[in-house]
Amino acid sequence: MRTATVTRNTLETQITVTLNLDGTGVGRFETGVPFLDHMMDQIARHGLIDLDVQAVGDLHIDAHHTVEDIGITLGQAFAKAIGDKKGIRRYGHAYVPLDEALSRVVIDLSGRPGLVYNVEYTRASIGQFDVDLFSEFFHGFVNHSMSTLHIDNLRGHNSHHQAETIFKAFGRALRMACEPDERMAGITPSTKGTLSA
């Protein structure tokens, strides 16, 4: 089973992420940031990843450190669980609509971190959640999972819908990229023979 548990402790946050890439989409989240919990549940359900995220952060300041550090720790756990990447599809993509909103996410488990993030939210916050923090979450993930990620919100008027389509598409793209490819069994999907830097 492709599983991992990573704990990351700093003076600002204490975070533990446990995941199973071959799960059934069960999520458990206690982060103190309810809207982020809702979005990570989309990753779990649509990625068929069992995901448990426990976090204590300096929320008396704001949610920035907590959200960014969860992205970092999730990326570390993902990198540990995916292993040497032999026999996987490597690339994944998904388009997901929700009413008027539509987002596209494309991922390459390339071994090279990079984020292209084209999202213009129609509001600065969703409830108490600052939408700027989503880019910090994804930066943390790509830098520590060593993956290339393109996120485009193609349309949308409701910021909740915009965010939800992004996270659903991310989960589905991640699922596709992680899936075993029978024709590539035991082979690294790269002409270089490696998917590290």
Residues β-bridged to residue 129? 126
> Do the beta carbons of residue 59 and residue 128 sit within 8 Å?
no
Task: Name the percent of the chain lying above pLDDT 90.
Answer: 88
Q: What angle do CA 180, 183, 184 make, to 5 degrees?
A: 65
Least confident span in 87-91, 119-123, 180-184: 180-184
Q: Express each pLDDT in 101-141 by its tens digit.
A: 999 999 999 999 999 999 999 999 999 999 999 999 999 99
Rounded to whole angstroms, the Cα distance separating 126 from 63 reads 13
In the chain, what is the straight-line distance between the N-terminal and C-terminal CA atoms, in Å? 25
